[in-house]
Structure 1
Amino acid sequence: MTIRESIFPSHPCRRHPLYVGMLLALILPAAAVHSATADPAVDSDQKKEVAQLGSIVVSAPDYVPKETNGAAKSNVPLIETPQSVTVITRDQIDLLDWQNLSQVVRYTSGVIGENYGPDPRYDWLTLRGFYPPEYIDGLQAPIGSVSNVGVDLYGFQNVEVLKGPSSTLYGLSPPGGIVNLTSRRPEAQFSGELQAQYGSYANTQLAADFTGPLDADGRFLGRITALWFDKGTQAHGVDTDRYYIAPALTWVISPETNLTWLSYFQHDDVYGDGGGFLPIYGVDAPNPLGRVPTSTNLGEPDYNHFDRDQYGVGYDFNHKFNDDWRFEQNLKYFSSDVKIKQIYGAGLASNADGSLNYGLVNRYNFPFNENVKSFNVDSRVEGKIVSGSVKQDLLVGLDYRRYTDDSEFGFAVAPPLDLFHPVYGNIGTPPAQLFPYVNEVQKQTGLYVQDQIKIDRLVVTLGGREDNVNTASSGTSSTNNKFTYHAGLNYLFDGGIAPYVSYATSFQPTPGADYDKNLFKPSEGNQVEAGIKYQPSLGPGKSLLFTAAAYDLTQKNVLTADPAHLFFSVQTGEVEVKGIELEAVARFNETWSFNAAYTYTDSEVTKATDASLGKELVQVPKQMLSALVDYTQQEGSLAGLGGSLGMRYVGKSYGDSFNQFPAPSVVLWDATVHYNLDKWVMQLNVANLFDKEYLSRCSSTSQCFYGLRRAANFTITRKF
């Protein structure tokens, strides 16, 4: 087992009622803010549309996205973007009660979440075969040994999944793509909500969000978003606590200039969780003593503890020189401090004769601490150039990131535990000393240019970027200079049809060195993609977006085992991923909503020196299919009452690189009942409606993880 594998479980926390009082103290003053007489934040077309809807119960007017900011670092219509992009709006998140990134992508093509079952600490995603790094407001989050930070979804307005290479605008990243979260921001008109939730596994949650002007002139706009929860999980003896608060302030310096200060602070405690790590016998292979319950916890409820403090503080600044040129700058300082004490399962123990003891599990004790800090600043100038029938949107930017990762670990053998009748309390002797794991400082500077050229109905997008990355890690240092680029072509037909084709490249530094102490080169990716987007104008209250994409991507300079030197690697590996993705989202007159997605993925290790050659990539199902329909009654005494039903099919996938441990396909159902009454919203959301027991993955005979059993949450929200 690698050190990275041993920090991949799931955990929960204890309760702090003091946080509830602090939350309310912050919220109540904001609730008293008066409404402004004007609302510059509301689009005029949206006002007309709402007026024409008349007496319709409006619950999700922005359910269907129209624009993306992440794909171009400026607002661009989705049908003019030569890249497959999924935008999950706050309306979708609220209606379907998605609480983390792993859940958000349930009805999205090309990406799969919940790779390790229910995990209250992190969001495990696989995007086109790779782990996508997480970005917050266009800046890379403080990711360390895990490619995401587990920040609470309640603090964000939307989620953008950028599929395929995105290095031209964002620098170092894998070829599968990235995920960007956009923070809730202050608005010029007062609004807010108070929310309470209770559900399965003693889920208790309070949340609030208020925004509006802070002065009579509307020069200062404020927003406060806060959340507290105390939850369990399906594993016995696990408790998780979280409090999250995100103050934001906008200063409208002039009609052409504004500055928005953004921040978030989150604390997590997860107590008692062994993280899964179940033996395969009794989970996905026969065990003569029976099936291992999904509630099995091989950790120590009174010893195991995951403690995390993370925050981000910074600003977004923009200045409009004139109608054609503007300057924008995003700056943020991130910090994430994680401390883990964990005893977890290490496979079945052996009897004296060497045979397996099917009722006894070995265990390890693995403390792990990690401190990640990151300073990010991205400055860019955007301009419009018109020359006859040719229109250009030119973007020139420079970004800088300084990243540090300090981590340490310990290791010891813990006493074994009865698999079916565990008796806790015997933790053995914890490691007396922790040893350095990663000590890394990385500086990245990137200069990028993108030009979107419109000639009548033809849209040509060209972009290039030069990166300089300096990395100092555990006594070694390296410098990598890399040029990446993308090119795309869209054609806008009448009726909202837009076919496109694109080519893009990516790169990602590879830490470490080979046997001869030669530092590894960055891995390189390239992708060709073709597709079609359809977003017609259907009239007030009706929205539809359909996308179809086919792609072929390759990653080179992949590490593979050194056949001549045990425990070393050489950089001669290569992987290829080909796929087809279909996706649709629609909303009609606030009555019917639809989400649907289909994914076909063919992944293969095309070059390797070990048994992974020719195998599929880890946690990449060949096929996935999902569909959801929601209905809201608009007339009569039951106006505002509605519900949804969703189906998710996840095909067979492998939990290890040698494809020895398949997870069988599974069909899951989700359901929602919701009722809008004036300013009150009540809803009951049920995931895995029929309580299907299923395997999320097995990475080895000692590392198996169950998927999430049925989980029901009742939420009541008061709108203001």
Structure 2
Amino acid sequence: MKARIILLLIALLANGIIVFAQNTGSIKGELKSSDGHPAAYVTLTLTNLGKSVKSNEQGKYSFNKLAPGTYTIKMTAIGVNSQSKEVTVNPGEEVELNFALTESNQVLKDVIINANKSKYTTTEPSTTLRINEPLIEAPQNIQVVTSQAISDQQIISMSDGLIRNVSGAVRLEHWGDLYTNITMRGSQIQAFRNGFNVVASYWGPLTEDMSIVDHIEFVKGPSSFMLANGDPSGLYNVVTKKPTGQTKGEFSATLGSFDLYRSSLDLDGKLSKDGKLLYRLNVAGQTKGSHRPYEYNNRYTIAPVLSYQLSDNTKLTAEYTLQNAKMTEVGSYYVFATDGYAILPVDFTMTNPGLPATKINDHSAFITLEHRIDDNWKLTAQGAYFKYTQQGMSSWPSSVAENGGIVRNVGIWDAESEMSLGQVFLNGNIYTGSVRHRILAGLDMGKKNYMADWGQSHDLDTAGGEFNIYAPTYGYPNNGYPSFDRSQPLSQRAVAAGGLMDQRYNSFYAQDELGFLDGSLRVTLAGRYTYVSQSAWGASPDEAKHFTPRLGISYSVLKNLSVYGVYDQAFTPQSGIIYSGEAVKPLTGNNIEFGLKQDWFDGKWNSTLSIYQITKQNELTADPERPNSQYSIVVGEKVAKGFEFDIRGEIVSGFNVVANYAYTDSKVTETAPGVTAIAVGDVIPGFSKHTANGWLNYKIQKGRLEGIGFSGGFTWLGDRATDTWSVGLQKLPNYFKLDGGLFYENKKFKIMANAFNVLDKYLYSGSYYEWLNAYYWQTEAPRNYRLSINYKF
């Protein structure tokens, strides 16, 4: 039956491609400045349809497959007088319509640079998100965090406060700056980079340094157009910096509290006179301490990118990134006590000086071929290779006593991850009569392997010589430092420790978005077929095959106002070991969502409101009766539901805002037979019922104080359910953090000073571990400061 559905879908798409009416026309032309130079990247809009394009590097543009009729084309660009022209298109006719701008070429170059400068909003998704349509028309809640927002908030890595820019995003256990682990809509979302799922294990990829990041796309709910398999809560896609064709550079230096010293360099330009061979090079380095003694996080990043225009229609891009980290052992930031949360000073630590560093090398390479077949069809092929190596350890206590005595333990954590990933997808626009078809079809394939040795451990303290949290000493530990045996290759040690995980997948996806009523009404019909084989903890591989349908509808009530609804499914096989020995079934989930999107004042700012319900069956979670072990249990059925509201953009000239609120509720609705540790109605950890964020940035536009500005923001988490099940025990309190700063900026120079946790609150996250009969928590930094200087050249 599934095969028939796939064949039928393919046949329908093929029929749509082959059979389309010949009674459509097109409008083409070029834009030139008054001195005859091509005017590139200028926006032209068909006001009748609300459809926009930008002129290419040769100043040319086109609107294709237009129904016969009269259209108005409006040309707009910053610093240029807008123009509107009316044109009539007859069946089968190609109309030429040119525009002449009054500015000189040099002025126009400045216009182009300013027009492409990132602010707080964007109207189009990246190519790696695959969907070839404006964000306001997509039947999905997609939020984009721009490079300007990242810069204004002095964010230096994925784990550095970035999630304040997206409604409903929280982090459970922070894992320091090692892994990001973002949860949304009640579950951990998938991590993507340039369109590839880069999750190789439960711990996710190394946090991306912001020096390589152009912007980040958060896609909420199941996303069949991206996910071969994965959690239905959503994903985030980190889009790295690429060459722009403009010769420019930027140097940045940052100083901060707790011995933060950081610098970065961004070079962008041409390697050939004809502009076909372009480059981008980003390098960054930092040393960073912590508000807790003996902790550090030193990193450097190197990221070269080359792109070559093979022909007018074909471009090849290759990029490589190395991220190197040298940091305190994983877990060093947690503290434990039996009496409750937050009973120790905010800077208290349980780690010990003299422990060896955890060292990480994270390599990634991408090669992308983009070929525009004609004005309507584009083929994209991408390949990626990831290699991650880690040599280090993690810390966790062996015992916690009521008198504060703790036996601290460190365990080896050497790991290696290797991923080879590939994808090919086709985007097209065709018409059958008056119906427009936006076609997307593609193949995804991947091979992921992760292995780790965590089979050796060492107690730093002895019975009778425990580390006491009420009278700590940090000299040579009673039981000495660990000396782990690394004489055997990691591959052999991982087998002995059960630290093996792997995944193989192949997937085909096809989508047709049908546009009715001149494109105002859009209906999406899509489906994905996936085969996955994966294993974990040394268990036998689990195989699964699944077809996931997708149905969406979006309607433009006005040019800048749309409503949408979507039904989508997600699927992923699960690997784990159930204590009873029963077989592990794949996780399946579906999402029903409705939303409202609006662009205000020609897209200067936008808003999104969405409501959703995600249902998941057969989800595995850590066995609460056997914590910190390899065992899992089947929850049964879980439902997450809520609503989200986001606003971002320039409200008035110079005043930019990011504001959002989300209500989330996630509970068990059914339990699997034999499950006693979890009951119907229990809250599933992984969310905060209320999340609210705000960030304001204002720069004075005129007068003596022109260029001076201020910014400020907050995060509030209410009714947190980000801990594990702890019936009858203390829950995490509400959370409030306030930040603010001042800056001065001109065309070349910017200086920023921000204060974080202005109110100097004791902020933390954590949970209760029943097997230790103790609470654990991780504190955030008290009031701290950063000063950055940026110079553009």
Asked whether the two chains share a fold, i.e. TM above 0.5, the reply is yes
Q: Distance in 2 between matches of 1:193 and 1:445?
A: 41
Query: How does 1:13-52 map onto structure 2 within 5 Å?
Result: 48-51=76-79
SS of the residue 1:244 aligns to: strand
Of the structure 1 ranges 558-567 and 181-190, higher mean CA displacement relative to structure 2 is found in 558-567
Q: Distance in 2 between matches of 1:429 and 1:306?
A: 15
Matched with 2:639 is 576
Would the aligned equivalents of 2:175 and 2:331 in 1 still touch at CA under 8 Å?
no
Query: How does 1:368-407 map onto structure 2 within 5 Å?
Result: 368-407=413-452
Of the structure 1 ranges 194-203 and 45-54, higher mean CA displacement relative to structure 2 is found in 45-54
Would the aligned equivalents of 1:272 and 1:301 in 2 still touch at CA under 8 Å?
no
Stretches of structure 2 that go unaligned for 5 or more consecutive residues are 1-36, 45-53, 56-74, 82-106, 486-492
Q: CA deviation at 1:120?
A: 2.1
Residue 162 (structure 2) pairs with residue 104 (structure 1): yes
Residue 780 (structure 2) pairs with residue 707 (structure 1): yes
- Decide whether aligned partners of structure 1 residues 200 and 58 sit closer, same or farther in structure 2, where only a CA change above 3 A counts: farther
- Decide whether aligned partners of structure 1 residues 634 and 515 sit closer, same or farther in structure 2, where only a CA change above 3 A counts: closer
Would the aligned equivalents of 2:757 and 2:782 in 1 still touch at CA under 8 Å?
yes
- Decide whether aligned partners of structure 1 residues 479 and 342 sit closer, same or farther in structure 2, where only a CA change above 3 A counts: closer
Q: Distance in 1 between matches of 2:589 and 2:251?
A: 45
Would the aligned equivalents of 1:308 and 1:337 in 2 still touch at CA under 8 Å?
yes
Matched with 1:221 is 278
Q: Distance in 2 between matches of 1:124 and 1:418?
A: 31
Q: CA deviation at 1:515?
A: 6.0
SS of the residue 2:155 aligns to: coil
Structure with more relative contact order (C-alpha pairs < 8 Å, separation 6 or more): 1
Matched with 1:292 is 344
Matched with 2:400 is 348
SS of the residue 2:642 aligns to: strand
Matched with 2:724 is 656
Q: Distance in 1 between matches of 2:128 and 2:216?
A: 12
SS of the residue 2:667 aligns to: strand
Residue 439 (structure 2) pairs with residue 439 (structure 1): no
Amino acid at match of 1:411: S
Aligned counterpart in structure 1 of residue 459 of structure 2, from 403, 413, 416: 413
Matched with 2:377 is 325
Residue 784 (structure 2) pairs with residue 717 (structure 1): no
Q: CA deviation at 1:446?
A: 0.3
Amino acid at match of 1:491: Y
SS of the residue 1:79 aligns to: helix
Matched with 1:422 is 473
Amino acid at match of 1:371: E
Aligned counterpart in structure 1 of residue 692 of structure 2, from 625, 639, 643: 625
- Decide whether aligned partners of structure 1 residues 585 and 578 sit closer, same or farther in structure 2, where only a CA change above 3 A counts: same
Q: Distance in 2 between matches of 1:714 and 1:561?
A: 42
TM-score of the two chains, using structure 1 as the length reference? 0.87
Amino acid at match of 2:78: V
Q: Distance in 2 between matches of 1:75 and 1:69?
A: 9
SS of the residue 2:77 aligns to: helix
- Decide whether aligned partners of structure 1 residues 272 and 517 sit closer, same or farther in structure 2, where only a CA change above 3 A counts: closer
Residue 366 (structure 2) pairs with residue 314 (structure 1): yes
Query: How does 1:144-163 map onto structure 2 within 5 Å?
Result: 144-163=201-220
Would the aligned equivalents of 2:128 and 2:194 in 1 still touch at CA under 8 Å?
no
Q: Distance in 2 between matches of 1:196 and 1:531?
A: 41
Q: CA deviation at 1:43?
A: 6.1
Of the structure 1 ranges 126-135 and 508-517, higher mean CA displacement relative to structure 2 is found in 508-517
- Decide whether aligned partners of structure 1 residues 77 and 270 sit closer, same or farther in structure 2, where only a CA change above 3 A counts: same
Residue 736 (structure 2) pairs with residue 667 (structure 1): yes
Amino acid at match of 2:407: N
Root-mean-square deviation (CA, aligned residues, Å) is 2.8
Query: How does 1:140-179 map onto structure 2 within 5 Å?
Result: 140-179=197-236
TM-score of the two chains, using structure 2 as the length reference? 0.79
Stretches of structure 1 that go unaligned for 5 or more consecutive residues are 1-36, 286-290, 350-355
Task: Give the number of the structure whose alpha-carbon radius of gyration is greater.
Answer: 2
Would the aligned equivalents of 2:164 and 2:694 in 1 still touch at CA under 8 Å?
no
Amino acid at match of 1:51: G
- Decide whether aligned partners of structure 1 residues 612 and 633 sit closer, same or farther in structure 2, where only a CA change above 3 A counts: same
SS of the residue 2:778 aligns to: strand
Amino acid at match of 1:260: T
Matched with 1:555 is 616
Aligned counterpart in structure 1 of residue 678 of structure 2, from 604, 609, 612: 612
Q: CA deviation at 1:52?
A: 5.1
Residue 592 (structure 2) pairs with residue 522 (structure 1): no
Matched with 1:25 is none
Q: Distance in 2 between matches of 1:678 and 1:72?
A: 32
- Decide whether aligned partners of structure 1 residues 544 and 363 sit closer, same or farther in structure 2, where only a CA change above 3 A counts: same
Would the aligned equivalents of 2:369 and 2:382 in 1 still touch at CA under 8 Å?
yes
SS of the residue 2:79 aligns to: helix
Q: CA deviation at 1:706?
A: 1.6
Residue 371 (structure 2) pairs with residue 305 (structure 1): no
- Decide whether aligned partners of structure 1 residues 344 and 475 sit closer, same or farther in structure 2, where only a CA change above 3 A counts: closer
Would the aligned equivalents of 1:450 and 1:461 in 2 still touch at CA under 8 Å?
yes
Q: Distance in 1 between matches of 2:188 and 2:333?
A: 20
Would the aligned equivalents of 1:299 and 1:342 in 2 still touch at CA under 8 Å?
no
Q: CA deviation at 1:564?
A: 13
Residue 124 (structure 2) pairs with residue 67 (structure 1): yes
Of the structure 1 ranges 363-372 and 411-420, higher mean CA displacement relative to structure 2 is found in 411-420
- Decide whether aligned partners of structure 1 residues 590 and 96 sit closer, same or farther in structure 2, where only a CA change above 3 A counts: farther
Would the aligned equivalents of 1:272 and 1:302 in 2 still touch at CA under 8 Å?
no
Q: Distance in 1 between matches of 2:319 and 2:484?
A: 41
Q: CA deviation at 1:424?
A: 3.0
SS of the residue 1:663 aligns to: coil
Would the aligned equivalents of 1:299 and 1:344 in 2 still touch at CA under 8 Å?
no
Residue 184 (structure 2) pairs with residue 127 (structure 1): yes
